[in-house]
Structure 1
Amino acid sequence: MRPVTLHTLMRHTGQTTALRWRPEQVTTTTARQLIRRGRRANAAVHVYETTDRDGTPLHIAHVQFGPGLYDNVEAVTDIYEIPTEALTSL
């Protein structure tokens, strides 16, 4: 089973492009904790069910933090690719 992949994007105030970090591999437990932290911080959290290119069931969690999380940062977005098997095997 593959781990959860986390993609992070950050847009600084006054900038039109977003900074991207290299995708990180995190555990399902860590992903759940980070998504819960986003909900507690009043971030917009959306979870979608889909499949990857190979037809493997996948959940996508999109966490959008607004301004105020960091100085001079307009928005931070975390996108989690979570294999459905990882959620159902717990």
Structure 2
Amino acid sequence: MNEADALDVMHTAIWTVLIASSPGVLTAMIVGLVIALIQALTQIQEMTLTFVPKIVAVMVALGIAAPFIGGQIGLFTDMVFSRVQTGF
């Protein structure tokens, strides 16, 4: 295994983490922006109002996106194992 192979595996690993985490992160960001807008319009500054909807929305999004996330991790695992089998 040379440096180029190691960098390629690390590059793919970072992209896999970014792609697999994107459904939860994007959902939290969108729900947070909507709640912040609602709080700004109504001037309700309750701290628990921001956490509960975000947690519920992220859990639902992760439940829906679980096959996609598992598929991305499975593709990365297959790529790493195929490289180990062929000796890089």
TM range (shorter): under 0.3
Greater C-alpha Rg = 2
Normalising by structure 2, we get a TM-score of: 0.26
Higher strand share: 1
Normalising by structure 1, we get a TM-score of: 0.26
Higher relative contact order (CA 8 A, sep 6+): 2
Higher helix share: 2
